[in-house]
Structure formats: structure tokens, C-alpha cells
Structure 1
Amino acid sequence: MKKTAPEDVGVPASQLIDRAIGALTDWRGQTLARMRALIHEADPDVVEEWKWGKPVWSHDGLICTGEVYKAHVKTTFAHGAAIADPKGLFNSSLDGNVRRAIDFPEGAEIDAAAFKALFQAAVARNVAAKSKKA
């Protein structure tokens, strides 16, 4: 995925994400589209953004990014280390104190219920952190 081009300034993030997914004509586009759909199912109030040349989903702060690489699609949760992962979905960026990520290689099984629960836990974490500041 490319950074935002000058002609894309002012274009809604949802359209930029649509374009990015459409430009990926292989399994990676399908996987990113599936992750996006699960995110919206998990949190209908999620806000889509385009930052750092990639899709970003927020709710009372950053929840996760969607990144595309040659061998996998990655969702990086901004505060993943602070949320429970009972199904063990996090399989990348496990050394850090803050972030956690899930790499989805080609053909990976996606546990939709577990992913949505993880996303909802991240939202709950952000909401709780925001209410402490208020």
C-alpha cells in the first residue's frame, strides 16, 4: 500500500481503503476485506482512517492497523499487550510492551468469533482508558 498521494487529500478514508483492497487482486485483498468486515461487525461505531499509508480503525483511540505484505496480511493492535487473548490469536510482535499483531498468511483460517471478541476487548480498553482521563 502506498502513502496518501496529493490527489487523495480530502478523499474519505473508506474510499482509500476500498481502493487499496481493490488494487490487491489476490488472496491478500480478500483477507484484508474479510478483516475489515469482521471489524465492522465487532464494532459498528468503528471509525475508519487512513494513516501511514494503511487502513486504521479507531474507537476512542487507535485500535488496529491493516498492513499488507508479500507473505501475509497483518493486523497490529495498538494496545494489544493490555488485552486478554484467550484464543491465542496474537502471533506476531509478541516481544513488545504495548503492541501485538496477528499475521494472516495465505490460506489461514480466521476464527471470526475470536477476532471480533479481541477487537471488542480492545474497544473496551480504549473506552475505559478514556473515561479514566475524564
Structure 2
Amino acid sequence: MTKDWRVDRVEEIRSLIKEAEPDVVEEIKWRKPSNPDGVPAFSLDGLICTLEMYKGKVKVNFAKGSSISDPDSLFNASLQAPVGRSIDLHEGDELDSEAFKTLIREAVKVNRK
């Protein structure tokens, strides 16, 4: 069986979040029979984002995404949602590491307001 690309992508994103904000707290939430591993949730002075695997994509949900400056236009999902914003990543999609880390830092700034 080949390794699932989504697992590697989740690990990459987890590392970027911790590089951007070393004090971030990661918790596993919302365990259920259909998702026994739960959902990684990252917080620092409030929820920053969650990281979910779906069939065919990895989704990074930013809890207060509509309040976060996104000059590099990383958000590509839930753009009309009243509060949150998301980044959907499919196999082979590029993710600008520095822009993503900036987005994480911006999310923490929003939490601290």
C-alpha cells in the first residue's frame, strides 16, 4: 500500500504552524466513530485553526479567517463564510511556506486583540 500523501501534508502544515508560533498548543478534538483520530486543533490565546483530512484534500480551517489579513491570497475556500476561512490543498498543490507562517502569525494577532 502506498503512503497517503495527506499524512505527509498534515505533518508539513503542523511543522509550519509550530515554526510560526512555537508556543502554539495542539489538541485533538471531535473524536467520533467516523473519525477516531479526531481533528488537530491549534490554539494560542484562542483557536487559530483546525487541520482536517478529507477524501482528496487537506483542509486548514482558520477560526477567525475573515478578520485575518491574507495578502498572498492563500484562502481558497469558505470565502463567503461570516467568520472562518479555509485553505483546501489537493495532492500536488503548492503551499507558500513563508506566506502560510505569516497567516498563522496574523491569526494569533487577531486572537490577542
Q: Which aligned pairs between 1:104-123 and structure 2 lie closer than 5 A?
A: 104-123=89-108
Structure 1 residue 127 displacement after superposition: 1.2
Identity %: 54
Unaligned 5+ segments in structure 2 are 31-37
- In the TM superposition, residue 97 of structure 1 has moved relative to its aligned partner by 0.9
Q: Which of 26, 48, 63 is the aligned partner of 2:48?
A: 63
Query: Which has the larger strand fraction?
Result: 2
Q: Pick the aligned partner of 1:39 from 17, 21, 24.
A: 17
Following superposition, the deviation at residue 33 of structure 1 comes to 0.3
Q: Which has the higher contact order (CA 8 A, sep 6+)?
A: 2
Structure 1 ranges of 4+ moved more than 3 A = none
Question: Scaled by the length of structure 2, what TM-score is found?
Answer: 0.90
- Equivalent residue number for residue 19 of structure 1: none
SS of the equivalent of 2:99 reads helix
Letter in 1 for 2:45: D
- For this pair of structures, how many residues does the alignment match? 105
Question: Structure 1 stretches of 5 or more lacking a match?
Answer: 1-24, 129-134
Higher helix share: 1
Q: Which has the larger radius of gyration?
A: 1
3-state SS of paired residue (1:93): coil
Q: Cα RMSD between the aligned structures? A: 1.1
Give the Å deviation of 1:46.
Answer: 0.2
TM-score under structure 1 length normalisation: 0.76
